[in-house]
Amino acid sequence: MKKEAIKNAEKLITECETLCSNITHATHRAFPHTAKEDYDTGHDFSIGKKYIKIIRTEQGLPRSVWGFINIANDKFKFGDVLMASGWSKPALNKARGNLFEGYQIAVNSSTHRIHGPDYLV
């Protein structure tokens, strides 16, 4: 059981790295000025007890929260993508997707955006 949990955690970290890279590339495609050295927009993540926080950075400094990935909230599945409600907590009304179920980032998508997971409609 412990080996499986470690394997799942490693997969989640890999998925978060891919997500951050995809958001950054989509941002640079949509807004070319964000790729310039003086702006230098990127995305990184921070691991907490219940969630992984996806953070937009400028020149290496944290600027805003893109969203959260569920780790240990029993209301959601492991790897669920949650919209940010603020800097330190996600919106807990509904998951916007799951990293293990093909969550994609697109510049002009109706459900997965470069600025954060979509609002519920």
pLDDT digits (tens, 9 = 90+) for 104-113: 886 665 545 7
pLDDT of residue 113: 72
**16's tokens:** 């978060």
- The confidence band for 118, taking pLDDT boundaries of 50, 70 and 90, is confident
Decide if pLDDT at 29 tops 90: no
Query: How far is Cα 48 from Cα 40, in angstroms, rounded to an integer?
Result: 25
Angle CA(62)–CA(20)–CA(70) in degrees, nearest 5? 90
Question: How far is 30 from 13, CA to CA, in rounded Å?
Answer: 26
Instruction: Assess contact for 90 and 83: CB atoms under 8 A.
Output: yes
Q: pTM for this structure?
A: 0.89
What is the structure's pLDDT at 5?
78
| pLDDT of 11 over the 60 cut | yes
Residues of the chain above pLDDT 90, percent: 57
Q: Is 73 helix (H, G, I), strand (E, B) or coil?
A: coil
Residue 88 has which token pair? 């330190």
